[in-house]
Amino acid sequence: MESNIGFTLARNSRKYKDKTAVIFKEKRFTYREFNARVNKLANALMGQGVRKGTKVALLFNNCNEFAESIYATLKLGGIVVPINTRLSAQEMFNLIDHSDASFLIFDRSLMEKMELTWHQSEKIDHYIIVNDERNPDFLHYEALLQEGSPEEPRGVTVEEPDEASIIYTSGTTGKPKGVVLTHRNFIWQAVNFCEGGLACLNHIALNLFPLFHAGGLAGFTSYIFIGATVLLKDKYDPVDCLETIQREGINRWSAIPTIFAEIVNLPNIQKYNLISVKRLASGAAPMPLSIRQKLTELFPNTGMFDGYGQTECTGAISMLLAKDVFRKSASVGLPYATNEIRVVDENDVDVPVGEVGELLYDGYTRMSHYYKDEQATKEAMRGGWMHSGDLVKLDEEGYIYIVDRKKDMIITGGENVYSREVEDTIIRLPEVAEVAVVGLPDHKWGEAVTAVVVPKGGASLSESEVISFCKSQIAGYKAPKRVIVTQSIPRNSVGKVVKGEIKALYSQ
């Protein structure tokens, strides 16, 4: 039996041919219809020159054409390069150029950001536009589908070890790196999600996570792998999400904690019928316990899951199951069955249970390498283990607790301070909505613990209140030397705080 991502769709187009596979806005496609569109595009792309190993850049917000382009490219053995649409035009060009993509498929709504690539790229041979049938400068998506055969592409052999995608990291700690993931990575991540109950045959999943991120792409391919129904959203609106859940009978929803925090505080939320939801999953950032408790009240039939991962591990390393979310509320759970982990000191020697060290991992979902960056690959995977850059500790049952990013640890007056511990303390203040803690240069302390705080609407908050509260809860040297009250904290497209931007903003 074949074992690649494209085959899983072809298989389900036979097993569940009349079942709804993908919903986007007013469009609905059964597995048979979705697979036929994918095949038409794949055969048309083959006619244009896409071959095994060809890199195809994709510039979309979530939509059915994005999903179709992914599967069509993968069925040909091509390599998908999804580009974050929230980047600037220059950043997009840099990544597309670095990837060596020779095809670019994009939505007309992103024309303005794409133009820099169009004018400057010497590597892109073919541009394909979606939702515009009149522009003479590009190939037209729907016209290509009309030309292509709905039959499975012939003469192509795609195997598990073959490269499937280059996904660029969010760059929260430096220049984005191109993470090369294989068909095997995505297939085994789908197995992980299915075994963990995150993707089930009867799921009707509301998918907000962008397909240009590893977590969003791995989640989507997992739903298709098992034969579930996926409803794609190209943007987030809280009321629209609740109305969609009620109208479509959504029973599976993944989102970031900031979205869930907004949902639980919506006025009149009680008027929505949310009993269909059986699974809520959170990722990309820690979920405050108070938000979890409110979610269980609003979604009475749900089980809550909390995931932890990286692009380098196809989006997920561990999962905190519903049965543990309150028993182990500060944990990110146990590693998936396909993953093996270690916690080590600065010399890569394993540390005892309960002590802080860097998380290392290995397994079927670990990346192949960083694209065109042999030195970074060698450094990250020294000794045969992927070095996560995350400082963690394990309890006696093997549950993982994130302490801090290794690069976010603050050394102040010779003492190590974990920013996550200080953040967890400050967020307990009822006046605080968000907080990020960084180390800023200081002539006396080397680095000064600095808290950037967003107060809740209408709340007043002083520096002395925050510092005093921290000193009553944690060691004095861990308390902030400085508190900055602001209206927002820089985040990337998946809700992660970008501490590099905070440091650059306030270091002066």
Helices (H), 238-309: 238-248, 257-264, 289-298
The CA-based dihedral angle spanning residues 66, 67, 68, 74, taken in that order and rounded to the nearest 10 degrees: 110
Report the distance separating Cα 309 and Cα 318, nearest Å. 7
Report the distance separating Cα 79 and Cα 124, nearest Å. 14
Strand order of the sheet with strand 482-485?
432-442, 446-455, 482-485
The pLDDT of residue 494:
60
DSSP letters of 105-139? EEEGGGHHHHHHHHHH-SS--EEEEES-S--TTSE
pLDDT tens per residue across all 508 residues of the chain:
578 999 999 999 999 999 999 999 999 999 999 999 999 999 999 999 999 999 999 999 999 999 999 999 999 999 999 999 988 898 899 999 999 999 999 999 999 999 999 999 999 999 999 998 788 899 999 999 999 999 999 999 999 999 999 999 865 445 789 999 999 999 999 999 998 888 899 999 999 999 999 999 999 999 999 999 999 999 999 999 999 999 999 999 998 887 888 898 898 888 999 999 999 998 877 777 888 889 989 998 998 899 999 999 999 999 999 899 889 988 999 999 999 999 999 999 999 999 999 999 999 999 999 999 999 999 999 999 999 988 899 999 999 998 877 778 788 877 778 788 899 899 989 899 889 999 988 877 778 899 999 998 878 888 999 999 998 888 888 899 999 999 889 887 666 788 888 888 888 6
The CA-based dihedral angle spanning residues 235, 316, 257, 288, taken in that order and rounded to the nearest 10 degrees: 180
Q: Which helix (H) or strand (E) holds 466?
A: helix 463-473
Residue among 233, 216, 286, 276 at smallest CA distance from 252: 276
Q: Judging by DSSP bridges, how do beta strands 400-405 and 415-417 pair with one another? A: unpaired
Report the distance separating Cα 240 and Cα 317, nearest Å. 31
The answer to whether 131 touches 142, Cβ cutoff 8 Å, is no
The pLDDT of residue 160:
96
Q: Which helix (H) or strand (E) holds 448?
A: strand 446-455
Report the distance separating Cα 130 and Cα 125, nearest Å. 17
Q: Judging by DSSP bridges, how do beta strands 27-30 and 252-255 pair with one another? A: unpaired
DSSP letters of 43-66? HHHHHHT--TT-EEEEE-SSSHHH
Rounded to a whole number of angstroms, the distance between the first and last alpha carbons of the chain is: 60
Q: Give me the count of residues in the chain.
A: 508
How are the residues of the chain apportioned to helix, strand and coil, as percentages rounded to the nearest 5?
Answer: 35, 25, 40
The pLDDT of residue 496:
74
Report the distance separating Cα 64 and Cα 25, nearest Å. 9
Q: Which helix (H) or strand (E) holds 24?
A: strand 20-24
Q: How far is CA 418 from CA 3, 42, 205, 228, 256, in A?
A: 43, 49, 36, 41, 23
Q: At what angle do helices 5-15 and 31-48 cross, to 10 degrees?
A: 140
277-300 CB burial, b ≥16 within 10 A, e <16: bbbbbbbbebbbeebbebbbebbe
The pLDDT of residue 504:
84
Residue ranges and CATH numbers for the domains of the chain are: 31-183 (3.40.50.12780), 236-405 (3.40.50.12780), 411-506 (3.30.300.30)
Report the distance separating Cα 491 and Cα 258, nearest Å. 11
